[in-house]
Structure 1
Amino acid sequence: MPRSPWYITRTDDALTLSRRLPARFDLAAETTLPGGDPLRLAHQIRQDMWRALQSLRGFAPAVEIAAAGEGLRVRAGGQVAGQVPGNAAGRIAEVLDSPANRARWLRHAGFRPDTNRFESGATVKNAHKIAAEIDKTDESAP
């Protein structure tokens, strides 16, 4: 079975999904979400961010999700090999602030208001299966 091309780094209260190690945020935007499975959220956010910035040469997406009070703090962005356009962080912020995106991410992440906000259904054993399921769609599709 092929290995997922994404690195998943976990700490006690945070999860980082990145294309390269160590994850680097040359550009980033932040938001908060009420909860859900952090790995599923990270993959969904990464896909939408990639769609918005796929024309940015040398872009390697990264998403960090950390517990923050009653919800989750999301930092999305990544590493850029080259010049960063002035509007790139704004484009990421638009992706993060889109009500349609946020609703879809929370549905996909299984958010229920009565559950723990930072529990992931993914384990080290099945993370590649979840990533493969999420990555079934082509990233370069509009």
Structure 2
Amino acid sequence: MARKNWHIKVEGDTLTLARRLPARFDFAATAVISGGAALRRGRMARQVRQDMWRALQTLRGFAPAVSVRVVGDDLEVIAGGGVAGAFPKAHCEAIVADVLSDPVRRARWIAHATREEADHA
């Protein structure tokens, strides 16, 4: 399924948002959103992807990918992507880890992904 050239793949409790299929993670960082199992995974993935793209938009050949998985009561977010060509892997992983650990961004993602009461009907 594509949404404006973005592919969304759902397998069980995992939603993956990627520019290209199959999603490739040449580099990645992981974060856990405690108590986030009830959040909307698609909205969370889009928000993470947008912030990651802003941080890495000068990386040539970068195709972002975000995987969001429910693990018990938590939400595990894996963000990274594929890169065509040579790139500074450790530097890119550090940038994505900083994006994922930023408390202001996390609060915005959670607010955006919180289910409204109408969604439960």
**Structure 2, gaps ≥5 residues long:** none
- Residue 66 of structure 2 is aligned to residue 63 of structure 1: yes
- Residue 92 of structure 2 is aligned to residue 88 of structure 1: yes
TM-score scaled by structure 2? 0.88
**Structure 1, gaps ≥5 residues long:** 116-120, 122-142
Aligned ranges 1:41-80 → 2 under 5 Å: 41-80=44-83
Number of the residue aligned with 1:30: 30
Larger helix fraction of residues = 2
Q: Using the aligned pairs only, state the percent identity.
A: 52
Aligned residue for 1:87, secondary structure, equals: helix
Give the letter aligned to residue 12 of structure 1: G
Superposed CA offset, 1:5-30 (max 9, x none): 10000011100000000000000000
Number of the residue aligned with 1:118: none
Aligned residue for 2:49, secondary structure, equals: helix
Q: Partners of 1:103 and 1:111 in 2: how far apart?
A: 14
Larger strand fraction of residues = 2
Number of the residue aligned with 2:18: 18
- Residue 103 of structure 2 is aligned to residue 99 of structure 1: yes
Number of the residue aligned with 1:6: 6
Q: Give the C-alpha shift of residue 111 in structure 1.
A: 5.5
Give the direction of change, closer, same or farther, for the CA distance of 1:29–1:111 in structure 2 (3 Å limit). farther
Q: How many residues align?
A: 112
Q: Which runs of 4+ in 1 moved over 6 A?
A: none
Alignment match of 2:112 (pick from 108, 112, 119)? 108
Aligned residue for 1:25, secondary structure, equals: coil
Q: Partners of 2:115 and 2:85 in 1: how far apart?
A: 37
TM-score scaled by structure 1? 0.75
